[in-house]
Amino acid sequence: MIPPTAYLDALSHIDAPSNITAARQDFLGKFLQAGLPDSHQEDWRYTSLAHLERMPLHAPEAMPETLPALEDYPGALLAYSDDRLVWQDTTLPATVLSTLSDAIGSGMPAAFGSLAGNGSLTQLNAALWREGACLRVPAGERLRQPVFLRFAAAEPDAMLYPRVFIHMAVGSDAILVENFLGDPGIEYWQNPVTEIILEAGARLTHLRIIEDSKLATHTGLTAVHQASDSSYRALNLTLGGQVARHELKLTLAGAGAEARLDGVFIVEGRRSAEQHLRIVHLAPRGNSRTFYRGLADGRGRGVFDGRVEVRAHADGSDAQQSSRNLLLSPHAEIDAKPQLEIYADDVKCSHGATVGSLDEDALFYLRSRGIDSETARRLLLEAFVGEALGLLDDTGLRDWMMPRLLARMPRSHSEESRP
């Protein structure tokens, strides 16, 4: 058990606007009562957070001395290191994009905190978040450039609680990129929460990338609320973290809302990656498409847990889920569990999940043309995950993203197969 003093100490480090201090104490109390989720809870049965108990976790102390090296971000950028804003490069007005503390300083954004729910880790984030971002796109406005939020970890054993609030007003349109990463070789725990509200007809394209260090723990939540005819398109890439878990709670609350949720996860070594999707169709004629691809090498472990509920009165809904996965080693493991619960009429639903291995016939076909086995394997793996990457073309982010993704593709094993 992490001593409560670690959390209380973290709370005392926060110079929060006084209006939320009481609320933070309340959230922390609830978290301390519930404790860390454990594997007895249905949604957590694949995950073990026991290692967190053994770490000397603490709120980051020193202000980072050096700025992290920032690669090119083709858009507006807010860069955080250890939960503090260290760099910004944006020409958007502060009423549109600002730090969360600035936004709250000039009045609590409406509906802030209303979507995240009451999971114990979410309450911990609500209690201890220190800095974050707030994006509010005014009605009818379309942001021409993507907004990048970069959350980096630099201090070993830090507990980090990035918090993001996105409000897309009626008919607005934006591209958001959230990028979580950390110094290679350090252990830390990143527990972010992002809330996204889409008003009627609003459109958000959201690229979320977990590139945390190979020793890090990432437990993230994205909660999305969609009004009528809004569109949410997401690509969730899990490329890092020793233990990486992403939960996506999405509610199609207004008629005709549409969500397209793509994802790719890659695990090797002893890494694990879990995707938990909770999609609720509340209103008629909603459309949700889930399309995930997973690769597991070494002793890697992947989980795709997708649940779609089509509630009463959500007639004419259309929900499709596809999860396809490849095991690249005999010790790798992937559990794919799509679920549908339907309580409405005239609903089109389908789900498919496969866990297989690389197609040996295709591999031979390529090699018989003179392509070496390493290249042939790479071509097939890139083609496999490529099917889930259409969003990169639609956002113009392919050139920015692909080198990072390709760097994480599993390498071939040393034992060459000879005929």
Partner 1 sequence: MLQIRNLHVAIGGKPILKGIDLTIHPGEVHAIMGPNGSGKSTLAQVLAGRDGYDITAGSVQYLERDLLPLTPEERARAGIFLAFQYPLEIPGVANVQLLRTALNGQRRSRGEAEMDAIDFLDYVKDKLALLGMDDSFLYRSVNEGFSGGEKKRNEILQMAVLEPRLAILDETDSGLDIDALHLVADGVNSLRRPQRAIILVTHYQRLLNFIVPHQVHVLAGGRIVRSGGRELALELEAKGYAWLSEEISDAADFMETYL
Q: Which is nearer to partner 1, 15 or 415 (CB)?
A: 415
Q: Which is nearer to partner 1, 217 or 325 (CB)?
A: 325
Q: How far is the CB of 376 from partner 1 (least distance, A)?
A: 8
Which pairs count as long-range contacts for 365-373, CB under 8 Å and 24+ apart, including other chains?
373/412, 373/416, 373/417
Q: How far is the CB of 202 from partner 1 (least distance, A)?
A: 32
Using CB under 8 A as the binding rule, the residues of this chain from 356 to 375 that contact partner 1 are 359-362, 364-373, 375
String of contacts with partner 1 for each residue 141-160, x by CB under 8 A:
--------------------
Q: Which is nearer to partner 1, 346 or 394 (CB)?
A: 394
Residue 90 lies near partner 1 (rule: CB under 8 A): no
Q: How far is the CB of 258 from partner 1 (least distance, A)?
A: 25
Q: How far is the CB of 3 from partner 1 (least distance, A)?
A: 51
Q: How far is the CB of 268 from partner 1 (least distance, A)?
A: 21
User: What does the alpha-carbon distance between residue 282 and residue 280 come to, in Å, rounded to a whole number?
Assistant: 6
Q: Which is nearer to partner 1, 234 or 381 (CB)?
A: 381
Per-residue 3-state assignment (H helix, E strand, C coil) for 168-224: ECCCCEEEEEEEEEECCCCCCEECCEEEEEECCCCEEEEEEEEECCCCCEEEEEEEE
Using CB under 8 A as the binding rule, the residues of this chain from 376 to 415 that contact partner 1 are 376, 379-380, 382-384, 386-387
Using CB under 8 A as the binding rule, the residues of this chain from 6 to 35 that contact partner 1 are none
User: What does the alpha-carbon distance between residue 111 and residue 116 come to, in Å, rounded to a whole number?
Assistant: 10
Q: Which is nearer to partner 1, 343 or 364 (CB)?
A: 364
Q: How far is the CB of 387 from partner 1 (least distance, A)?
A: 6
User: What does the alpha-carbon distance between residue 85 and residue 237 come to, in Å, rounded to a whole number?
Assistant: 23
Is residue 124 a contact partner of residue 31, using CB atoms and an 8 Å limit? yes
Q: Which is nearer to partner 1, 342 or 371 (CB)?
A: 371
Sheet holding 147-153, edge to edge: 84-89, 76-81, 147-153, 173-182, 203-211, 231-238, 258-267, 287-296, 318-327, 348-357
257 CB-near residues (< 8 Å, 6+ apart): 198, 226, 227, 228, 229, 230, 231, 232, 283, 286, 287
Q: Which is nearer to partner 1, 11 or 363 (CB)?
A: 363
Calculate the dihedral angle through the C-alpha atoms of 85, 173, 112, 314, rounding to the nearest 10 degrees: -140
Number of residues that bind partner 1 (CB under 8 A): 27
Report in angstroms the alpha-carbon separations of 113 from 23, 107, 108, 164, 231: 11, 14, 10, 10, 21
String of contacts with partner 1 for each residue 314-353, x by CB under 8 A:
----------------------------------------
Q: How far is the CB of 361 from partner 1 (least distance, A)?
A: 6
Strand-pairing partners, residue 348, are: 318
Q: Which is nearer to partner 1, 315 or 382 (CB)?
A: 382
Q: What is the DSSP-derived secondary structure letter of residue 20?
A: G
Q: How far is the CB of 351 from partner 1 (least distance, A)?
A: 20
- By CB under 8 A, name the binding residues for partner 1: 359-362, 364-373, 375-376, 379-380, 382-384, 386-387, 416-419
